[in-house]
Amino acid sequence: MSDSAFHYVDGVLHAEGVSAASLAEQFGTPLYVYSRDALTQAYRAYADACAGRNATVHVAVKANSNLAVLNVFARMGAGFDIVSSGELARVIAAGGRAEHTVFSGVGKSAAEMREGLEAGVKCFNVESIPELHALNEVAKSLGKKAPVSLRVNPDVDAKTHPYISTGLKSNKFGVAFSDARATYAQAQAMDHLDVVGIDCHIGSQITEISPYLDALDKLLELVGQIEADGMRIRHIDVGGGLGITYDDETPPAIGDFVTTLLDHIGKRGHGAREVYFEPGRSLVGNAGVLLTRVEYLKPGEEKNFAIVDAAMNDLARPAMYEAFHRIVPVVKRDAAAQTYDVVGPVCESGDWLGRDRELALVPGDLLAICSAGAYGFVMSSNYNTRPRAAEIMVDGERARLVREREEVEQLFAGESILPD
């Protein structure tokens, strides 16, 4: 979590100027809490590094699609990166603009392509030859030309978790590097496509710059070959994926990351091209926490369990990736700590949020699961017919409810039983 946005005052965790304990009392738990200041500072780090350079920032909506979160970025002039027409609808509802939005994703349907074209998105990042043909046909039916870039898979190891590595030969994403030049030629030959750029995204939670530079070197070499074939590449999309600190990781500072990539592109003679950055986790990850209350403490022969009211349906990352999130008390207790596995009430052995944590607890205590702003609520579900959590945005000393807690009745409102 952001130490500036989430900090202790007299032993009580605060989100900016608001006590986390008071938020839990007012809005209940589990509860996602976001800091507007943390979102703002992270975005400004990107925007400031891009200032005066031919570079733009497109927020990856999949990391956190809450309308209030997106609106914070839209007000600061952000573009957006989407992977579904549902995310496009969210961007527009949040005050974003379609013409500043890049439509990514490996499996866009014809209906989604149509919606993107009708809205006037900035570019489609295309990932296969069949997708090129489909987009060409949809554009033809609308009497339009679709702006496209190809997502090229450079076969670069991002040195991250295999589930969030996207730039290797074995990944489903992108056009194989060896096929890219020929694929660009096919795109150029299609009457209703306008080839405008090249795209690359090698993974997520990357904590070193070197994999980006390796991918860029291959990408820039390819750009020269494509232009030799008679096409003009106007922009280079370097994707997102910059990591954050969950535990003891030391990713590069955002400004250093952006400057290093832009300088590298310039030194290779490509400084005139626009560069797109598509950050997600590095904007929102440490801008949010998940508050949860301890229901029971259950000692065991091998493990002590702290059973809380949040679960894997609220935060899937630990169960899905064995991801680490720091877990801290909302109110510090002056007592001896014990080692607990922090687990939820869902009926799965994989329902854990943290293992082997040193905590001083009694039932009813509040805990904050840190660094939960990215891939937290957006990946949550209603498994075990559990309503999803509420979401709060803190702005200074004010807290606003930006998503109401679901009610059980909402979860089956669209269902029906069989007639007699």
Asked if residue 369 lies in contact with residue 310, where contact means CB atoms within 8 angstroms, the answer is: yes
Cβ-Cβ contacts under 8 Å for 208 (sequence gap 6 or more): 159, 251, 252
Over residues 349-373, the pLDDT tens digits come to 999 999 999 999 999 999 999 999 9
Distance CA 10, CA 2 (A): 18
Q: How far is CA 334 from CA 266, 340, 361, in A?
A: 55, 17, 10
Residue 164 has pLDDT above 80, yes or no: no
| Among 277, 312, 337, residue at a domain's last position | 277
H helix intervals, 120-167: 129-142
What are 38's two structure tokens? 């943390």
Domain of residue 323, CATH code: 2.40.37.10
Residue 300 — very low, low, confident or very high, per pLDDT cuts 50/70/90?
A: confident
pLDDT at 165 over 90: no
Query: Of the candidates 277, 302, 328, which is a domain's last residue?
Result: 277
Whose structure tokens read 């609308």? 142
How many domains does the structure of the chain reveal? 2
pLDDT at 142 over 90: yes
What is the end-to-end Cα distance of the chain in Å, rounded?
54
Chain position carrying tokens 């209703």:
192
Q: What is the mean pLDDT of residues 371-392?
A: 98
Q: Name the more confident of 374 and 167.
A: 374
260 and 311 together in one domain: no
Q: What percent of the chain has pLDDT over 70?
A: 96
pLDDT at 167: 42
CA proximity to 291, closest of 38, 21, 30, 7: 30
**Mean confidence (pLDDT) of the chain:** 95
Q: Is the pLDDT of residue 381 over 80?
A: yes
Does residue 141 carry a pLDDT above 50? yes
User: Which secondary-structure segment (H or E) carries 260?
Assistant: helix 254-267
Residue with tokens 């900035």: 122
Q: Which residues pair with 235 in a beta bridge?
A: 197, 274
The answer to the question of residue 93 being in a domain is no
Q: What is the pLDDT of residue 2?
A: 78
Same domain, 116 and 216: yes
Whole-number pLDDT of residue 140: 98
Q: For residues 283-295, give the mean pLDDT.
A: 98
pLDDT at 44: 98
In a domain, 110, yes or no: yes
Question: Can you give the pLDDT at residue 158?
Answer: 59
Residue 82: inside a domain: no
Last residue of a domain, one of 246, 277, 308: 277
Average pLDDT over residues 294-308: 95
Confidence of residue 252 (pLDDT cuts 50, 70, 90): very high
d(C-alpha 103, C-alpha 242), whole Å = 20
Over 80: is that where the pLDDT of 162 sits?
A: no
Residue 56 placed within a domain: no
Torsion of CA 378, 380, 382, 383, to 10 degrees: 150
Does 313 lie in the same domain as 348?
yes
Q: Are residues 178 and 262 in the same domain?
A: yes
Instruction: Tell whether 257 and 301 lie within a shared domain.
Output: no
Classified as helix, coil or strand, 283 is helix
- Residue 177 domain boundaries: 105-277
| 305 in the same domain as 214 | no
Q: Do 261 and 338 fall into the same domain?
A: no
Can you tell me the distance from the alpha carbon of 261 to that of 200, in angstroms, rounded to the nearest whole number? 13
- Say how far apart CA 9 and CA 331 lie, in whole Å: 10
How confident is residue 171, by pLDDT bands cut at 50, 70 and 90? low
Q: Look up the CATH number of the domain holding residue 132.
A: 3.20.20.10
Residues labelled as active-site residues: 347
Helix, strand, or coil (residue 118): helix
352 forms beta bridges with: 343
Residue 87 belongs to a domain: no
Same domain, 361 and 217: no
Residue 243 placed within a domain:
yes
Structure tokens, 208: 């070193």
Residue 161 has pLDDT above 50, yes or no: no
The verdict on residue 319 lying in a domain is yes
In the structure, what pLDDT confidence band is assigned to residue 82 with cuts at 50, 70 and 90?
A: very high
Phi/psi of residue 190, nearest 5 degrees: -90, 130
| 260 and 316 housed in the same domain | no
Q: Are residue 346 and residue 270 in the same domain, yes or no?
A: no
